[in-house]
Structures are given as structure tokens and as C-alpha cells.
A and B are shown apart, each in its own frame.
Chain A
């Protein structure tokens, strides 16, 4: 028995030591950065802001609060998904480029609403000045957002809205996204023809909003027929599902009967399937994903491909950090009146096709060297981001 006791004692000691080492190992690294932040942040501001336009308000805001802000960033899903990864990277880049942020605490993991609630509470406990987050649910996070408001923390929801009153929402205008693309496609067909309608993920707010925009365009072009039905087909924003759907569509001979395809961003897969089947292209609408834009510009490998890409920028992460800083500095922000929630900033999409010279030039201008082909291209948003594309690709926040 004495033997056992010494062993359990040793066990406890070992565990405690192991944990201490683990905790301090992380702590050591982070303490040094924290130390260097306080000394290095101000010079970094001077070194990096001259070539950005945000320099004037940086100084005014930065001086008002003395030292910089600490911001928390919570992303509760889509780890490994290009759209979400780019969001986090643009948030890091904006925090760095603004020169006003000493630390961006990032929690980027796949979890459910309950997990994100706990992440946001952790950020509140960490004493940050603002929390920017991509919500897992429009309502579930409200209790934690209320606690944040009570603690005087600015909260900004990006990519989708939350129903909490005091929280600002910033996301892409998805109604407009679908409307722009559909209108271009219907124009392209001369207002008459059959369109295959390939939607996103059933039940997702962005998908529902895009459906509204598509209907609005459809109302203006009564001679357009939508197949398989007015509700379209759902790709689930999944490349494999999309490929399966379009291959089935081609194999069953239905492709011969259509004049155009509208996709909800699962675009390059559709182009590839048509090319593999050796068929002629019909006009296609997609999103500003690298692979699709490359196809639109590649006449050699995709002859006769006519299409348009609509921006659905992932830079909402960076824009969210920018919005949080504007709010922290007491600047007034223009909000959209027609949005479903108050305090909403809507980012309007842009369309570029490979038919007009202007469109081609825009498509060319979107291409960025070194960007993952499955990441969206629109890395910057005028008025909302201050970083360079290189900073976004580097994906480094302040103090890193």
C-alpha cells in the first residue's frame, strides 16, 4: 500500500509538472510576443502605414486610446474551407495593417453553436476590446453577445447576421449577388431560353437570400424557363455533389436542351464536366473563385466558354476588423436600411464577364500570385480593408 501511495503521489506530481510545462511552454512564447508587442507596435505602425491610405485616422484613433486594441476573432466552422480560411487571414492582415491592434486572438475551429458560445465567452474573459465573429447561428449566440455588450465590448458579426440588437452585421449582399449574375445571364440569352439553376446549401441564409435575388431577376425576364424546377437543385456547395449533378444532367441528355447555367459558386466543376464530355459550352455564371476565373480567361483550353464571375468576397473577415476599429474609434458607419437587421453593413457584389473588354480587364486584375486556387479572389474591399494582397496571403497577425 505505501508503494501505491507514493506512486499516486508521483503521478499527481508528474501531471501537474506536465501541465505546467505545457501551459508555460505556450505561455513563454506568448509572453515574449506580448512583451515585444508593447515595445514594437508603435514603430511597426509607422513603418507599415505610410503606404496605406488609413494612416491619417490611424494616428487619431491610436492616440485617443493610448495603446492599441486587442481584438478577438471567432470562426466556428469550415476549417480548411478556402472561403473561411481566407476570412481569417484577411482579419489577421487587417489587424496588422491597421497598426491599431496589438493582438488578434483567433479561435478558428469546427464546432457547434454551444461551442462558439463558449469561445465568445472565453474572448470576453480575455478582456478584448472587440469581438469579430462568423456566427454559427443567428440567435444562439445572443446571450454571450449580451454579456459582451454589458462588458463594453464592441461586437461585429461577419458573413451572416445575428439578431442581437447591439451587434453590427457585415456581410455580402447575397440577394444582389444572385440578381446581378442572373440578370447578366438572362441578358446574354436575349431574354429567352432555358436555364439550369444550381443552388447552394439548402436552408443556409445565403442560399435563401440568393434564391430571392434570382426570383427578382426572373420576374424581369418572363420568357426565361428554369429547370429542373423553380426551386433548382442544391449542390450543398460541395464539389463532389456538384460534379455528380452535372454529370447526371449531361448523361441524361438534358444538357442539350438548355441555354445557360446559373451556379451558386460551384462553377469550375461544371465547366470541367462539360469540357470532359466534349460538349459546347453554354453561358455560365459563377463566383470569383480562382479556378473559375482562370477558366474564363483561358481561351486555349476552354474555347467558346462565355461566363461571368460575381464577387462574394471572403475579405469580410478583414472588413469586420476594420468595422470594429471604426466603432472603437467612435466613427460613424453608414448602415443599410433595407437589411433585415439594424446596424447592418452590406457589401455589394461586382460582376465581371469575359465578353466585354472591361470585364476581361477586371477579371485579370483579380488574379493574385500565390493565392490558393480554391480561395476567392476579391482579397480587398474598397473602404473596408487597408492591407495588401501579399499581407493577406502571408496570413500573419500583429505580434506574430
Chain B
């Protein structure tokens, strides 16, 4: 009798525990989503006309930075950091825009595939240099920031080029319902299709393993060097997606890198990825990017001085990181 009662109870408590642990794991992302909901409510309160068009504009404007922050998150999870993300975006963007100019729509498909491969190669070069030379990640990628930015200027001296119409169409307008921006769907699909299978594969596990403790990972048979190179290659791939999104949303390419590298680091930190590696995911940073962008929109509605708006953004970032590390400390003690 008693056994019959306790078994379902145990099963239930086991389920609850797994739900709780799942919630705990994604607790940060959930809190971010909560903040986002509050921000949307504030936006709506300040600007009652903020609606479907506003959401679409927001989705388009977060796209390049969201992809950059996914790229950065992958490097950081593997205990690295990539300061060349913005330069790789500029380089892939100018390559795509210069190749697509005055060419057919079909040719652009080949260009997109080629540019994604280029991104993988650029990232793999970054990773290989780090692994082979054993120079710290931050130094190598800082140097590569200049190399890739210089290459972008060699490809195109001044802003120009063009984007295929179908590529532009991927980011403009809604999908099915006016409240669902195509840009957001495309961005989430790209991230989900590439990242989720990798995250669940041996490679994904290895990336988190070398991020948590490279020595332990090595002793468990993980090839640390190979994993690192692949992680940087993925960072390059998502930078290429980011570069393509720049070409697609503006219809041109700019050889001088935009403010994406440092903003991506900020989004990664705000998105709950530990800078010491091994902890966090890629969806937290995406939500973080939306939050940072919405904050800017709110401050525009309030006509806050733009310089002050930047100060507020930075202040919030520092605050969140401080609270975050406090929690980690508590967890370790508890």
C-alpha cells in the first residue's frame, strides 16, 4: 500500500526535480525574457502606437548583432574570445556584396554558400593560430581584427556593392502574420539549424568540456586543439551569417567594421555566458541583444541624449554582470 503510494510520488518529485533543474539551467534566459517582457510593456506605455511595424523594425535591426553575439558566445563557451568578429562580418559582407553586384539571382545562391565557407575558413585560421602558436586568444584575435579589416578594405575601398533581391526579401516584411517578422524567423532558424545539432553532438559536449576545464577534458580524451579550432570555425561561420545579414538588410556593404565586436561581448555577458567558459548558451545572448536594442529604442522615444543612452546601457551591463557573479559565488558556497 505504502509502496504504491510512494512510487508515483517519487516519480512526481523526480519530474519536478528535472523541471526545476531545467528551469535552473535556463533561469538566466528566463529572467532575461521577463525583463524583455517588462521592457516591451514600458515601450508600449511610452509609445502607444508601437506595434507590428515597430516589432519588425526591431527584428531587422537586431539581426546582425544577434548573429555576432551567437558567434561570440561559441568562442566564449569554449574558453576563448574573438575580437575579430566585427572584422570578419565586414570582410564577408564586402565579399558577398561585391560578388552579387550586377549578377543574377541564382548566382547569389553560390555566393552565399561561398561566403559561409569563407567564414568557416577565416574562423579556422583564427583557431589554428591560437592552437599552434599558443599565444592567448585575445592577442591573436586582436591581431586578426586588423588583418580581416585590412582585407575588407582591399576588397572594397568605399561602401558599395549590392544584394540579391531574394536575400533582401529574407529580412524584409512579415511572415504569415504581421506580428511575426521574417527577419526574426530567419535568424532563429539559422541559429537553431546549425547550433542545436552541434550542441547535442560530441563536438558540442567537447566545446563545453574544454570551456569548463581544458585539463579535465584532455584527460577524458577530448582533443582540445581540434575542438578549439572547430569552435573558432563556427564563430567564423556565424560571423559570416552576420556579414550576410548586413548585406541583406542594407543592400550594400561597408568595409569599415561596425560596432559589433564589443557589443557582441557585452551581449554574451548579459546573455548569461560565463567569460571563464563552459557555461551558457546562444539563446541568452540573442535575448540580450533584443533587450539592448529595445533599451535604445525606449531612450529614443524618451529623447534621451544619445551619449547618455550609451552610458545607461553600459551601466546596466555592469550591474547585471555584478549581480551575476554574486550569484555564482553564492552557488559555489551553497
A residues neighboring B (CB under 8 Å): 1, 3-5, 7-8, 11-12, 14-16, 18-20, 22-23, 26-27, 30, 79, 103-115, 117-119, 121-127, 136-137, 139-140, 142-144, 147, 151, 202-204
28 example contacts (A-B, Cβ-Cβ < 8 A) are as follows: A3-B334, A4-B330, A8-B28, A12-B34, A12-B35, A14-B323, A15-B31, A23-B298, A26-B308, A26-B312, A27-B46, A103-B303, A106-B306, A109-B306, A110-B259, A112-B254, A113-B252, A114-B258, A117-B60, A117-B61, A117-B250, A122-B296, A124-B57, A125-B50, A126-B301, A139-B252, A143-B249, A147-B57
Minimum CB–CB distance for A29 against chain B, Å: 8
Best-surrounded residue of A1, A19, A147 (most CB of chain B within 10 A): A19
B157 within 8 A of A: yes
Question: Contact mask B244-263 → A, CB, 8 Å, 1/0?
Answer: 00100111101010110000
Whether the Cβ atoms of A140 and B251 lie closer than 8 Å is yes
Is the Cβ of B39 less than 8 Å from the Cβ of A19? yes
User: Would B31 and A30 count as touching, CB distance under 8 A?
Assistant: no
Is B64's CB within 8 Å of the partner chain A?
yes
Looking at B115-123, B184-192, B207-215, B313-321, the stretch in contact with chain A turns out to be B313-321
Give every chain B residue within 8 A of A122 (Cβ-Cβ).
57, 296-297, 300-301
Which residues of A are found within 8 Å of B154, using beta-carbon distances?
none
Apart from the given pairs A15-B31, A108-B307, A126-B301, 7 other A-B contacts in the complex at a CB distance below 8 Å: A8-B27, A11-B323, A15-B35, A19-B35, A26-B298, A115-B61, A124-B57
- Pick from B46, B250, B306 the residue with the most CB of A within 10 Å: B250
> B58: which A residues are within 8 A, CB to CB?
121
Which among B24, B49, B251 has the highest number of chain A CB atoms within 10 Å? B251
B86 to nearest A CB, angstroms? 10
As a 0/1 sequence over residues 12 to 44 of chain B, the CB contacts with chain A under 8 angstroms (1 = contact) are 000000001000100110010011001100100
A113 to B97, CA, bound (A): 14
| Contact (A118, B299) CB under 8 Å given A14-B323, A140-B250 | no
Minimum Cβ distance to chain B for residue A109 (Å): 5
The 8 closest A-B pairs by CB, nearest first: A118-B61, A121-B57, A203-B158, A112-B258, A140-B250, A125-B54, A12-B31, A30-B302
Task: Please report the C-alpha to C-alpha distance between residue A144 and residue B308 in the assembled complex, in whole angstroms.
Answer: 25
B319, A18: Cβ atoms closer than 8 Å: yes
Question: Which chain A residues lie closer than 8 Å to B200 at the CB level?
Answer: none
Task: Judge whether B61 and A22 touch: CB under 8 Å.
Answer: no
A30–B299 CA distance with the chains assembled, in angstroms? 10
Contact B293 A118, beta carbon cutoff 8 Å: yes
Shortest C-beta distance, A113 to chain B (Å), equals 5
| Nearest-CB residue, chain B, relative to A150 | B53
CB pair A114–B249 under 8 Å, yes or no, is yes
With A8-B24, A23-B42, A114-B61 in contact, is A3–B330 under 8 Å at CB? yes
Shortest CB-to-CB span from A81 to chain B, Å, is 14
Give complex CA distance A7, B27 in Å: 11
Closest to A27 in B: B302
Residues of B within 8 A of A5 (CB): 20, 24
Which residues of chain B come closer than 8 Å to A106, judged between CB atoms? 303, 305-306
Q: Judging by beta carbons under 8 Å apart, are B297 and A125 in contact?
A: yes
Residue B197 CB within 8 A of the other chain: no
Q: How far is the CA of A115 from the CA of B57 in the complex (A)?
A: 11
Q: How far is the CB of B255 from chain A (nearest CB, A)?
A: 10
| Residues of chain B within 8 A of A109, CB atoms compared | 306-307, 310
Contact residues in B for A111 (Cβ distance below 8 Å)? 258-259
Is B47 an interface residue when CB atoms closer than 8 A count as contact? yes
Name the B residues within 8 Å of A22 (CB-CB): 312, 315-316
Given contacts A19-B316, A113-B159, A117-B249, contact A107 B306 (CB under 8 A): yes
Do the beta carbons of B250 and A114 come within 8 Å of each other?
A: yes
Whether the Cβ atoms of B61 and A121 lie closer than 8 Å is yes
* Contact A18 B246, beta carbon cutoff 8 Å: no
Residues of A within 8 A of B308 (CB): 26
Q: How far, in whole Å, are A139 and B101 apart by their CA atoms in the complex?
A: 14
A142 to B293, CA, bound (A): 21
Q: Which of A8, A30, A125, A202 has the largest number of chain B CB atoms within 10 A?
A: A125
A141 and chain B: residue at smallest CB distance: B250
> Which of B319-334 touch A at CB < 8 Å?
319-320, 323-324, 327, 330-331, 334
With A26-B304, A27-B302, A127-B49 given, is the CB distance from A15 to B323 under 8 Å? yes
| Cβ of B217 under 8 Å from chain A | no
Q: Which residues of A contact B60 (CB under 8 A)?
A: 117-118, 121
A143 partner residues in chain B, CB cutoff 8 A: 168, 172, 249, 251
Contacts of B246 in A (CB 8 A): 112, 114
Could you say which residues of chain B place their CB within 8 Å of the CB of A1?
20, 24
Assess whether A16 is in contact with B38, with CB atoms less than 8 Å apart: yes
Q: Are A30 and B24 also in contact (CB < 8 A) when A8-B31, A124-B57 are?
A: no
Contacts of B47 in A (CB 8 A): 125-127
Q: How far is the CB of A202 from chain B (nearest CB, A)?
A: 7
Q: Given A8-B24, A111-B258, A125-B47, A119–B300 Cβ distance below 8 Å?
A: yes
- Closest B residue to A125 by beta carbon equals B54
Contacts of A127 in B (CB 8 A): 47, 49
Which residue from chain B places its CB closest to the CB of A115 in the assembled complex? Answer: B258
Rounded to whole angstroms, the CA-CA distance of A121 and B294 in the bound complex is 12
In the complex, which residue of chain A has the Cβ closest to the Cβ of B56? A121
CB distance from A42 to the nearest CB of B (A): 20
Q: Do B252 and A137 touch across chains, with their CB atoms under 8 A apart?
A: yes
CA distance A244 to B318 in the complex (A): 41
Taking the closest CB of chain A, its distance from the CB of B296, in whole angstroms, is: 7
Q: Which A residue sits closest to B24, measured CB to CB? A: A4
How far is B64's CA from A19's CA once the two chains are assembled, in angstroms? 24
Give chain B nearest CB distance to A132 CB in angstroms.
15
Q: Which residue from chain A places its CB closest to the CB of B50 in the assembled complex?
A: A125
Report yes or no: B300 in contact with A20, Cβ–Cβ below 8 A. no
Q: How long is the Cα–Cα vector from A136 to B49 in the complex, in angstroms?
A: 28
Please give me the residue from chain B that is nearest to A203 by CB atom.
B158
Q: Give the docked Cα–Cα distance between A117 and B159 (Å).
A: 15
- B157 and A137 contact, CB distance less than 8 A: no
A91→B246 CA distance, assembly (Å) = 30
Contact B323 A142 (CB under 8 A): no
Which residue among B24, B303, B316, B319 has the maximum number of chain A CB atoms within 10 Å of its CB? B303
Return A353 CB to nearest CB of chain B, in Å. 33
Question: How distant is A368 from chain B, measured CB to nearest CB, in Å?
Answer: 24
Docked Cα-Cα span, A79 to B27, in Å, equals 39
Selected contact of A203 from candidates B61, B157, B323, CB within 8 Å: B157
User: Could you tell me the distance between the alpha carbons of A104 and B306 in the complex, rounded to whole angstroms?
Assistant: 13
Given A26-B299, A123-B300, are A7 and B254 also a contact pair (CB < 8 Å)? no
B251–A142 touching, CB < 8 Å: yes
